[in-house]
Amino acid sequence: MRRVIVLGSTGSIGTQALDVIRANPRRFELVGISAGSNAELVTQQAEEFHLEHTALGAAESEQLVRDVEADVVLNAITGSIGLGSTLAALKAGRTLALANKESLIVGGELVRSAAAEGQIVPVDSEHSALAQALRAGTRGEVRRLVVTASGGPFRGRTRTELAEVTPEQALAHPTWDMGRMVTTNSATLVNKGLEVIEAHLLFDVPYDDIEVVVHPQSIVHSMVEFVDGSTIAQASPPDMRLPISLGLDWPHRVGGVGRPLDWRQATSWTFEPLDDEAFPAVALAKTVGRAGKTFPAVYNAANEQAVNAFHEGRLSFLGIVDTVQRVVDAHDAPDELSVDTLAAAETWARSQADALIASA
């Protein structure tokens, strides 16, 4: 029986995690939950699971992690505000099921140095797929990681054709049902850029050996290529309950959380190269990742401001990544990486992005 805390219990990942826990009462015990502001739903969830420990907001979430006895903390908070809870879970010795990729990306070496080997288990479908495939060989046998991308709603469009797309079109993702920020990041491929940085930090593979390939069917969630030419892929219908269940009970599999592929039906899977001209966010993310320090925090914070401006009609779709690029180019990273320097860099990046957007 694993005792579980779910941070971000009212969001997409959080509610699906409760589905997994609800369906496996002999395997998981929910001992605490938190959300950003949805007090009504948190109260309903607490009543259903007979919970004494709930929290609202980032500070209370961190305190919940420190105070409540648990084996696993699922961090499904959205945004870099989840960094404090990630660090608190690692310091407390919990297994961290990480759906809050921003906390690892922004925290970088702070998070990696705080984590014991194997303490962080990825919940993103792509990184869960990589973790599963990596079990097929030793670290020295890995040639490269191949991270798949659906291509979002604008796959195949040229940069010129992207100039006039609308927020409504950007939110029409062909595969996944996600929140506004993540769905827009999928449309710009900023999300995939963040995932490349996350893959480097999780698996310690050089950026030159991490490749993104467009796979619109979203069945192969990522692949590992080995030195003998063999490629191991993890494939399943798109359903986040599978990687969530692995995050909660890694490395053990939970029966019945997802449906298998139907091999009796004819089907085709396609793979396409990424168009870096139309979608420069991935190449920029690799540059940012190699620079390290506070650069990933700046990339993420500037993007959040730009996405909000896009949905408020103050910025074009192409202006999102263009703004991030200009903020990154203007950044001068401090020598020391700490929680304080990260917070200062994020504040600077948001202000810089806002100024650029206002003057556009």
What residue has token string 């396609």? 270
Q: Whole-number mean pLDDT of the chain?
A: 95
pLDDT tens-digit map of 91-125: 999 999 999 999 999 999 999 999 999 999 999 99
Nearest to 185 by CA among 153, 159, 160: 153
pLDDT, residue 334, reads 95
Q: How confident is the model over 162-218, as pLDDT tens digits?
A: 999 999 999 987 766 667 888 999 999 999 999 999 999 999 999 999 999 999 999
Mean pLDDT of 125-129: 97
Q: CA nearest 90: which of 105, 112, 109?
A: 112
Average pLDDT on 272-296 reads 97
Query: What average pLDDT does this structure show over 214-224?
Result: 96
Q: Is 147 left (phi over 0), alpha (psi -120 to 50) or beta?
A: beta
Tell me the per-residue pLDDT of 338-356, one tens digit each, with 9 for 90 and over: 999 999 999 999 999 999 9
Q: Which domains does the chain have, with CATH numbers?
A: 2-123+241-248 (3.40.50.720), 125-239+262-289 (no CATH), 293-360 (1.10.1740.10)
Condensed to tens digits (0 to 9), the pLDDT of residues 22-45 reads 999 999 999 999 999 899 999 999
Helix ranges (DSSP H) in 171-252: 180-188, 190-203, 241-249
For tokens 């796979």, the residue is: 215
State CA 359 to chain mean position distance: 31
pLDDT tens sequence across 225-252? 999 999 999 999 999 999 999 999 999 9
Q: Which residue has the tokens 């039906």?
A: 265
Asked whether the CA dihedral 233, 237, 243, 248 is positive or negative, the reply is negative
Radius of gyration in angstroms for the set of CA atoms belonging to the chain, rounded to a whole number: 20
Mean pLDDT of 54-75: 97
pLDDT of residue 56: 96
User: Residue 346 and residue 17: Cα distance in Å, rounded?
Assistant: 30
Q: What is the pLDDT of residues 2-28, one digit of tens each?
A: 999 999 999 999 999 999 999 999 999
State how far the Cα of 14 lies from the Cα of 33, in Å rounded to an integer: 9
CB 81 within 8 A of CB 95: no
Model pLDDT, residue 179 = 75
Can you give the pLDDT at residue 173? 75
In this predicted structure, the answer to whether residue 321 has a pLDDT above a threshold of 70 is: yes
Residue 176: the pLDDT is 63
